[in-house]
Every structure is written in structure tokens, then in C-alpha cells.
A and B are shown apart, each in its own frame.
Chain A
Amino acid sequence: MKSRWLPYALFAAWVVVLATTPLWGSNYIVRVAIMIAMFTGLTLSWNFIGGFAGYPSFSTAAFFGIGCYAGALAQRAGVPMVLAWIVATVVVGAIAAALGAIILKMRGHYFAIASIGIVEVARLIISSWGSLTGGGDGLNVPLMSGGPNAVARIFLLVMIVIMIMSFIVTVIVDRSRLGFGLRCIQQNEDAANMVGVNNRLYKVIAYTLSALFCGTIGAAHASWTGYIDPSDSFSILMSVKVPVMCLLGGPGTLLGPVIGTAAFMMLEEVFWANFLDYNRAILGAVIVILIFFLPGGLLALRYRDIARRFGLLREPKMAA
């Protein structure tokens, strides 16, 4: 139990760094901070189903997109902004629970394919239901009053608050019966059932948890940008990036999603700025490297061994 408080301290420090960007950074830096906070929330959410339960879900974009539309439609109907986000959260959670009860009968590749299918079906329904959603023309969302800098600061704080909430839920799940049961399912689903874990129920709860904050984040994102359309809201790339970020950091851990998202997004910004033509190819390369060399993510690396190899750390005395 040497580093019991380390994850919390690191997370708190990271929150401070992100939250203070308006004080020391340019508008560009603040924008990156908002995106990092937003994606960290999405990655922490994915961690419930993909990390703890080990089910490769690609539904993130569906939940995010439905959250965008649920929030935007609520706001257009006159619901106050924050209440609209809560409405979006509840709607997305209910949809995820219903869909989860159906597709979580499947395992492995079959589940993965079904979870991608949900993104495409949701996108098609939203873009065909023109009378409600504006179809391919998209929807305008009431903009916040105030200058662009003030609005950016507010949404930075909003995304950070959502990120903190998803972290807190992760900590609670990690220590509870639910987290223990999900880990059992991840390692051996049949054995989990045999020791008394209600697999179906636990998986549906994990899938619903993986959706809730995606809904909140989607609705908040819609309020921030002021305009949504089906192809931006339901981007399959988001469904791929979020799991990659989590795997990069370390699935099923507290800090893995946070570290993975930060590392990935900063890399992406560097590549985006310097290699405009090749950044997607680089994303592909990161995925391949990850699968081959880092199956447990950055957190599973044995940093002591690496440091020792490069002579940064003295050989330890024989420890028992």
C-alpha cells in the first residue's frame, strides 16, 4: 500500500493544471484543455465497460451524439441549460440500459460489432427524423451570452466538473462489490456466474455507467459549440479514439484513462500541428504499437526496470 494516495494526488494536480490554463495559457491552450477534460470524461466512462468488465464497446459516439441531440432539443424547448444536460444524461442512461439488456447477451467480437451498429443506427435515425432533428441541416443551440473567452472559461470548468464526477464514480465502483464483480467477469465470465455474480445485471450496469456521462458531455458540448449535425455528433472516430486512449493508459485502473487521454491528446496536437497530412496514419500506428507492445497500457510498464536499464536508478539491494 505504498502509493495509496498517489493516484488521487496526481489527479488533483492534473485538475489544477487544466483549470488554471486561462491564467497562463493562450486561447489555443485553453481549447486543448477543454478537449482533454471532455475526452477524459468519455474515457473514464468507457473504462466501466471496456476496462472493468472487459467488453470492447464502441458505443461512445452513440451516447455522445444522443446526448448532443437530447440536450439541444431540450434547450430549444426552453429548458434551462444545466437542466437540459441532466435531461440528456437521464435519456442516454435509459437508452443504454435498454440496449445493453439486448446486446450484452453477446460476447467478444459479436458484442463489439453490435456496439458499432448502435452508433450507425442512432446516426441514421437522427438524420432521417428531419421534422424533429433538422436532419442533415443540423440544429442551432441557444448560445450563451458573453464573449468567446468568458464562454470558453465556463465550459472549461463544466468539462472539468464532469471529469471529476466520472473519476469519483470510478473510485466508488473500484472499491465496491460492483467493481469486484466486473473484474471477475472480465477474467472469467462463466466462473464469475458460478461464484454467484449476476453477470447480466452487472454488465448492464457497467454499460449504463459507460453511457451516463457521455450524455452529459454531449449535451454540454452542444451548448458550447452552438450547432450540431449528425455527422459530427456521431463520429465513428470518437468511438475508436476513446478506447485507444483508455488502453494506452491502462484499462480497469483509476488513473489509466486520465493518463492515456492526456498522452494521446497531446501527441495528437503535436502531430496535427506538424504533420497535417499524416496525422490519421500516425493514429493508426499508435494503435498497432499499443496492441503489440503495451497490452496493459502505460501504467503496466515496469518503469523501475526501464530506469535501471538506462542507468537512471541504482540497482536495489536484494529486497525480499
Chain B
Amino acid sequence: MSTTILAAERLNQRFGGIQAIDDLSFALKEGEVVALIGPNGAGKTTLVNLLTGVHQPTSGRVRFEGVDVTSQKPYQAARRGLARTFQIVQPFPRMTVLENVAAGALFGGASPSVAAAMDTAREQLEFMELAQFADRPASALTLAGRKRLELAKSMAMRPKVLMLDEVNAGLNSSEIDGALRLIRKIAERGITILVIEHLMKVVMSLAERVLVLHHGQLIAEGGPKEIVRNSKVVEAYLGQKFADRFGGEAANG
């Protein structure tokens, strides 16, 4: 149950004079849901980029299922089972919703043929409650719909680890509730999930473990209730007011 699936080992990333990721190590265990939080510019998206081969780290290693994958290309990460969604959604705008998802199944999910990919895509759209939009162009979806399309596309790639980069940003509260439900459904399938989030409501209700990033360093790690009481985290990110409120709730509940 608790084997490590994805590990970062002493990762460093410099962009010119900026140390975006500073000697960072952590591990994800198979099947767990982990949240990655931190202020803007802390290096959260950079970290995901390092884990999926978009950038090569200045030093350090990335291990996936025990294999060193540090120098992989994004398409190789996708085929291995390391899928991600983007903070800014990235659909294929003039393809239908179905074709978008089929692209994930065909290339990342290694479907044997275009027809098989279309079938897989139909199942995923059903699972993601997008089936009624299958034949619409992706550009016709609302933001919430496009975020969900990103999820369906990633799921069609049959990932082992799914990294969700602010899938809830820009959504209203009922849309967020819908997205939460879907993420839980994904987690029930045993997929390891790393969620990058600003919304503490989401973090508190989803995550089994929270990693806190600040100036490229991991400043705290632990269960969500410990994290909101951690003085370093409160100072760097949450703020005292928030900590009082959530800390109180945690104590009462």
C-alpha cells in the first residue's frame, strides 16, 4: 500500500539569478491525495514542470516507480503515467470535446487505434459528466467545462499520478463543489493525486497530507490540521486570522 511512486530528490532549479526550487525533496505514496500549497511565486508550478519534463532541473533527480526519469520529455512523462492539468487550460480548440479526450487516450493512454481511443474517450466523458457536450467544439465550453475537459483528457491517459494545477481557480462555489466530487471519484480509483491549490476549503477536505512551499523550499509537511497550526505556515502563507478560524474549527470539530 505505502510504496513510493514518485519522488523528488534534492531538486534545484535556477532561472538566472532566481532560485525557483531550492534543494527540495519529497515523496508521494501510491494512492494518496497530497496538496501542495504556498504563496504566489513559491515555485509550485515550476515543481510540476520539473516532475513532468517541461524543465530539466539544474540539479537533483526525479524518480518514478523507482526509475530515474529526470531527463524525460513531456510526452514520455505522459506515456509513463504522469499526467497533469494546466493552470491555464490547454484544449485543442477546434476539435470536439470527444476528440480532445481521445487525443489523451490515443497518445498518452496507448490506445491501439483511433477508434479504440474514441471509445475510451466516451467512457471518460461519461465518468466526468461531460457526455452531453461530446460533439461540441472544445472552445464552446465554459471555463468550468474546460477545466473538467482537462481532467477527462488526463484521465484518458490512464495516469498513475495525476497533478492538478489549480483546477478550481476561477470557478464559483457550486462549480468547485462539482469539481471536488469528481476529484474524489478519481481518487477512489486508486490514482495518486497531487493538487496545487489556493483554496484552503479544497485542501482541508481533500488532502491526506499537505506540502507547503515557500521561496522554493519545503517549509512544512503534515496532515491538514497540523499544517494550519504550524507557525511557519501561518506566517508565510495563511495569516493569523485564517489560522484562528480553521484552528478553532479543528479544535471544536
The smallest beta-carbon distance between B166 and chain A, in angstroms, is: 16
Question: Is B36 part of the contact surface with A, judged by Cβ < 8 Å?
Answer: no
Task: Give Cα A190 to B86, complex, Å.
Answer: 11
- A195 touches which one: B73, B93, B94, B103 (CB < 8 A)? B103
User: Is A188's CB under 8 angstroms from B104's CB?
Assistant: no
Point out the residues of chain B lying under 8 angstroms from A183, CB to CB: 92, 95
Q: Is B133 on the interface with A (CB-CB < 8 A)? A: no
Task: Pick the interface stretch among B9-17, B74-82, B185-193.
Answer: B74-82
Q: Pick from A188, A194, A196: contact of B93, CB below 8 A.
A: A188
**Which one of A177, A187, A188, A198 lies within 8 Å of B75 (CB-CB)?**
A198
Main secondary structure of the interface of A (DSSP, over half): helix
- Assess A192 versus B114: contact at CB under 8 Å? Given A184-B92, A187-B93, A187-B94: no
Which of B52, B103, B157 has the largest number of chain A CB atoms within 10 A? B103
Counting contact residues on chain B (CB < 8 A from A), the size range is 20 to 34
B107: Cβ under 8 A from any A Cβ:
yes
Interface check B108, CB cutoff 8 A: yes
CB-based contact B153/A195 at 8 Å: yes
Taking the closest CB of chain B, its distance from the CB of A186, in whole angstroms, is 9
- Tell me whether B114 and A176 are in contact (CB under 8 A): yes
**Number of CB contacts from chain A to chain B under 8 A:** 71
Shortest distance between the CB of B48 and any CB in chain A (Å)? 11
In the complex with contacts A184-B103, A187-B94, A188-B90, A195-B78 CB distance below 8 A: yes
Cβ-defined contact, B90 with A177, below 8 A: no
Within 8 A of B (CB), among A172-220: 175-177, 180-181, 183-184, 187-188, 190-199
The one of A180, A187, A193 that contacts B74, using a Cβ cutoff of 8 Å:
A193
Interface residues of B in 216-240 (CB under 8 A from A): none
- Measured in the bound complex, the distance between the Cα atoms of B74 and A199 in whole Å is 10
Residues A175 and B153 in contact, CB atoms below 8 Å apart: no
Chain B contacts of A177 at CB under 8 A? Answer: 106-107, 113-114
Q: Which residues of B contact A194 (CB under 8 A)?
A: 52, 74-75, 78, 84, 86, 90
Contact residues of A between 244 and 281, Cβ < 8 Å to B? none
| Distance in Å: Cβ of B82 to nearest Cβ of chain A | 10
Docked pose: A180 CA to B107 CA in angstroms? 10
**Cα–Cα distance between A183 and B92 once the two chains are bound (Å):** 9
Bound: A187/B102 CA distance, A: 15
Contacts of A193 in B (CB 8 A): 73-75, 78
Complex alpha-carbon distance, A177 and B111, angstroms: 10
Contact A191 B114 (CB under 8 A): no
> Which residue of chain A has its CB nearest to the CB of B93?
A187
Distance (whole angstroms) from the CB of B81 to the closest CB of chain A:
10
| Chain A residues whose CB sits within 8 angstroms of the CB of B91 once the complex forms | 188, 191
Which A residues are in CB contact (< 8 Å) with B78?
A: 193-196
Residues of A within 8 A of B52 (CB): 194
Chain B residues closer than 8 Å to A190, beta-carbon distance: 74, 90
Chain A residues contacting B74 (CB-CB under 8 Å) are: 190, 193-194
A190 to B73, CA, bound (A): 11
Distance (whole angstroms) from the CB of A247 to the closest CB of chain B: 16
Docked CA distance A196–B108 (Å)? 4
CB distance from A18 to the nearest CB of B (A): 32
Whole-angstrom distance between the Cβ of A190 and the nearest chain B Cβ: 7
Q: Is the CB of B92 within 8 A of A188?
A: yes
Residues of B contacting A199 with CB < 8 Å? Answer: 75
Give Cα distance in the complex from A180 to B108, angstroms: 13
A187 touches B79 (CB 8 A): no
Q: Which residues of A contact B99 (CB under 8 A)?
A: 180
Give chain A interface residues in 92-112, CB to chain B under 8 Å: none
Which residues of B sit under 8 angstroms from A196, Cβ to Cβ? 75, 78-79, 104, 107-109, 157
B residues with CB within 8 A of A: 52, 73-75, 78-79, 84, 86, 90-95, 99, 102-104, 106-109, 113-114, 117, 153, 157
Q: A187-B93, A188-B92, A192-B107 are in contact. List 12 more A-B contacts (CB 8 A).
A: A177-B113, A180-B103, A180-B106, A181-B103, A184-B107, A187-B92, A191-B91, A193-B73, A194-B52, A194-B90, A195-B78, A197-B75
The 3 closest A-B CB pairs, nearest first, are: A196-B107, A196-B108, A196-B78
Ordered by A's residue number, 24 sampled pairs between the chains whose C-beta atoms are within 8 Å are A177-B106, A177-B107, A177-B113, A181-B103, A181-B106, A181-B107, A184-B92, A184-B103, A184-B107, A187-B95, A191-B90, A191-B91, A193-B73, A193-B75, A193-B78, A194-B74, A194-B78, A194-B90, A195-B153, A196-B79, A196-B104, A196-B109, A197-B103, A198-B73
